[in-house]
Structure 1
Amino acid sequence: MPVSTPMSAHPTSQLDVATDLLTLLRRTTTEPRPDPQLEALTLAVAADLPVLLWGEPGIGKTASLTQLAAALDLPLTTVIASVHEPSDFSGLPVVGDDPAGQGVPMAPPDWAVRLVKAGRGLLFLDELSTAPPAVQAALLRVVLERRIGALRLPPGVRIVAAANPRSSAADGWELSAPLANRFVHLQWAHDHEVVVRGLGGTWPRATLPRLDPEKLPEAVEFARRAVGGLLSGRPGLVHRLPSGETRRGGAWPSPRSWEMTQCLVAFAVAAGSSREVLSLLVRGTVGDGPGLELLACVDRMDLPDPEVLLADPAAAELPERGDLRQAALDGVVEAVRARPDKARWDAAWALLIRALETGAPDLVVVPASTLASLREEDWDVPASIERLAGVVSLSRRADRAAATAKAGVGGR
């Protein structure tokens, strides 16, 4: 009669092998890699502002938050907002011995107690767009006042949330306007190259921005001038509640969101962040329209002083970006118009020559034509102007050819 072999050892050993295989699959490394959306996220986290990541399901929002928490050495606490009751955020009433004299305290949930005891951490509110209105109302104090029941989250705790657009969320709700206005909204999208390299075992490294201590006062002054300068000229942008329910659930301008924007501009300047990162942050706080207006205001603030350019044209440093270079040259011509003088007029021509030598020739056409119109009768034409004559003439011929071609098409 055959002897049966005990089978109890085989499943265990195979599960151990499977565990080893899973461990190898989950073992990844990180590398420094430019990632504007990840840099914007870390900058907002450093600024201690609540962030809301918007994106389709399955593109790695949760994985990015897990990696961010690990990189920043912050304990991660994930709370699925849609499966909780309002009392889980506002606190559960606990009746004591003398409720008439001591009141009824609101007991916080265990995850909030753990965060307070740890003194630091990353609170991740997932699936925010599937939370019903009553839960969203309870989250207002958590996001703004950092209070959960009778507890107040310590300064070392950062808050990040994630949501799917209503079209792709299961039983989704639009975010309420009061809750939406408390977040920095970042549109999260997958990068094909990042995903491919990450599946190969290497993901981008999330690091807190390096703030330059010497730039802090300058950064604060710059942010205040940028936001204050825009709102002084555009008072209608101070508070603009969108009319549609969907747009109210995103970024829109209010005194609260402008204060957040000012903070983010200061952090971006102190960290030396790129314009792309700054664009993601400001548009995610006050919306696309006001955000783009602020970026234009920031660009104008970065323009060199026309008087400095006129004082030493040979050493002048002009912006590399075409639109900014055009604006700088226009500013120089306007400065000459405001205070016409032969020496200043000559200096402006020298500056246009330098712009011609260091950038696109077409950018000097309009400033050169305007500057020529400012000449007074007793002003001799600089010899260097001949170098510009060909560019202006060529531009005018091109304009005439384009106009002729357009007229020919229209006449058919």
Structure 2
Amino acid sequence: MSSYSASTLDTAAALLALLGETRTEPRADDQLEALTLAVAADLPVLLWGEPGIGKTAALTQLAETLDLPLTTVIASVHEPSDFSGLPIVGDDPANQGVPMAPPDWAVRLVREGRGLLFLDELSTAPPAVQAALLRLVLERRVGALQLPPGVRIVAAANPRASAADGWELSPPLANRFVHLQWVHDPEVVVRGLGGTWPRATLPSLDPGRLADSVDHARRAVCGLLAGRPALVHQIPKSETRRGGAWPSPRSWEMALRLIAFAGTAGSSRDVLSLLVRGTVGDGPGLELLAFLDRMDLPDPELLLADPAGARLPERGDLRQAALDGVVAAVRNRPEKARWDAAWALLVRALETGAPDLVVVPASSLAALRREDWDVPAAIDRFAAAVGLSERADRAAARVAVGSR
């Protein structure tokens, strides 16, 4: 090799090294938090996303953070026997049988005792390979080999429209996964290309929340299904939807486990939404989230008993529902002391939240007044909020008329 060529390659190596020098910054990532909780819950996860979206990079970061060796298996280039095992004929097959020898990657996982098994390109695996994967995903068995409890399974797939020679997932295989839609954040990509990539802070489980989280999860799932038994098992009619998340006793059990893990980690509602809808589907998942919201509402009687010390929900819709519940409680048992306590609570809501949230409850509460009940002095404080609401309604009406 000439000195010129060597010099050019040395310069190219220096340039590549410079391009590879990046820094990181902490950044919240709901997708990665949901993935981490599902992996911690020992549930198989399937990441859906377009090619080049960063699914493999996320798995690599997760494995490094959890200190788990990463084993990648491209499902689409393997035969069914690579997952069910290869028959090995011994000295006396009539008496000893024919054992199914596992592939080398499975042997390495057993030898390590722990690891993250990444099944890539699952949607391009033919049906015969998908059938062989059923036992691996559900029972953690490869041939005659049992994977240790320390092994977690994550798969990745492209939508059929984006996958070369793609197949829809079979319903039995799809129902064994937590399905997470993986999307990119343009701001993260721009900052990353500029040299600063995000460093996600993974959730931690609080040992003090274990019992309460399990009880909360069981009450939520059992309470919803007791009132909506039709949701227990629903196989979608569409072939495409059968290859995603849908409700079954198995997926409800996964949802229960994930609610408990999210509660123990103190995860946000957005993370919980990803997990719940990824197990039982969008429709049943949203019903479960709404049921959880109702469970989290404070007892109206407790609010009426101590208006000054009451803690109202921060979210606007939940705060509105809590105040409506208080008005309903006064309507069911109208007493002067309870009516006054409700006004005191509305004043507290006016001082600590958006004024427009108290307009409807205040109007409903005023309509419950008896002739011998004195008008509370605090009612004047609601005049501004009611006036603002009325002006907003009139403005909206004018806009609607103008658009027509």
TM-score (norm 2): 0.93
1:237 partnered with 2:199:
no
How big is each residue's C-alpha offset from its partner over 1:242-300, in whole Å with a ceiling of 9 and x where there is no partner? 11000111111111111111111111111111111111111111111111111111222
Amino acid paired to 2:110: V
Shift of 1:18: 4.6
Q: Is the 8 A contact 2:44 2:154 kept in 1?
A: yes
Q: Is the 8 A contact 1:242 1:248 kept in 2?
A: yes
Partner of 1:198 in structure 2? 192
Q: Is the 8 A contact 2:101 2:143 kept in 1?
A: yes
Shift of 1:38: 1.1
Q: 1:185 aligns with which of 153, 165, 179?
A: 179
Shift of 1:10: 6.9
Supply the distance in 2 between the matched residues of 1:81 and 1:207 (Cα, whole angstroms).
Answer: 30
1:115 partnered with 2:109:
yes
How big is each residue's C-alpha offset from its partner over 1:335-357, in whole Å with a ceiling of 9 and x where there is no partner? 11222211111100111122222
Q: 2:136 aligns with which of 133, 139, 142?
A: 142
Partner of 2:291 in structure 1? 297
Partner of 2:54 in structure 1? 60
Identity %: 81
Supply the distance in 2 between the matched residues of 1:177 and 1:369 (Cα, whole angstroms).
Answer: 51
Supply the distance in 1 between the matched residues of 2:395 and 2:8 (Cα, whole angstroms).
Answer: 78
Q: Is the 8 A contact 1:71 1:205 kept in 2?
A: no
Higher alpha-carbon deviation: 141-150 or 231-240: 231-240
Structure 1 pair 349/285, CA: closer, same or farther in 2 (3 Å)?
A: same
Partner of 2:43 in structure 1? 49
Shift of 1:203: 2.6
Runs of 4+ residues deviating >6 angstroms? 407-410
Equivalent residue runs for 1:326-345 within 5 Å? 326-345=320-339
1:163 partnered with 2:157:
yes
Higher alpha-carbon deviation: 25-34 or 336-345: 25-34
Shift of 1:315: 2.2
Shift of 1:73: 1.5
Partner of 1:226 in structure 2? 220
Higher alpha-carbon deviation: 46-55 or 384-393: 384-393
Q: 2:359 aligns with which of 356, 365, 373?
A: 365
Supply the distance in 2 between the matched residues of 1:148 and 1:10 (Cα, whole angstroms).
Answer: 53
Partner of 1:76 in structure 2? 70
Shift of 1:402: 5.5
Q: Is the 8 A contact 1:46 1:209 kept in 2?
A: no
Q: Is the 8 A contact 2:80 2:129 kept in 1?
A: yes
Partner of 1:350 in structure 2? 344
Equivalent residue runs for 1:368-387 within 5 Å? 368-387=362-381
Structure 1 pair 105/29, CA: closer, same or farther in 2 (3 Å)?
A: farther
1:100 partnered with 2:94:
yes
1:250 partnered with 2:244:
yes
TM-score (norm 1): 0.91
Shift of 1:395: 3.8
Shift of 1:79: 0.5
Q: Is the 8 A contact 2:29 2:200 kept in 1?
A: no
Q: Is the 8 A contact 2:27 2:201 kept in 1?
A: no
Unaligned runs of at least 5 residues, structure 1: 1-6
Supply the distance in 1 between the matched residues of 2:260 and 2:214 (Cα, whole angstroms).
Answer: 5
Higher alpha-carbon deviation: 354-363 or 248-257: 354-363
Partner of 1:174 in structure 2? 168
Supply the distance in 2 between the matched residues of 1:30 and 1:106 (Cα, whole angstroms).
Answer: 46
Partner of 1:315 in structure 2? 309
Shift of 1:41: 1.0
1:153 partnered with 2:147:
yes
Supply the distance in 2 between the matched residues of 1:9 and 1:339 (Cα, whole angstroms).
Answer: 95
Higher alpha-carbon deviation: 67-76 or 278-287: 67-76
Alpha-carbon RMSD across the aligned residues, in angstroms, is: 2.2
Larger radius of gyration: 1
Higher alpha-carbon deviation: 143-152 or 368-377: 368-377
1:273 partnered with 2:267:
yes
Higher alpha-carbon deviation: 66-75 or 236-245: 66-75
Structure 1 pair 52/405, CA: closer, same or farther in 2 (3 Å)?
A: closer
How big is each residue's C-alpha offset from its partner over 1:3-36, in whole Å with a ceiling of 9 and x where there is no partner? xxxx377766765665555455445444321111
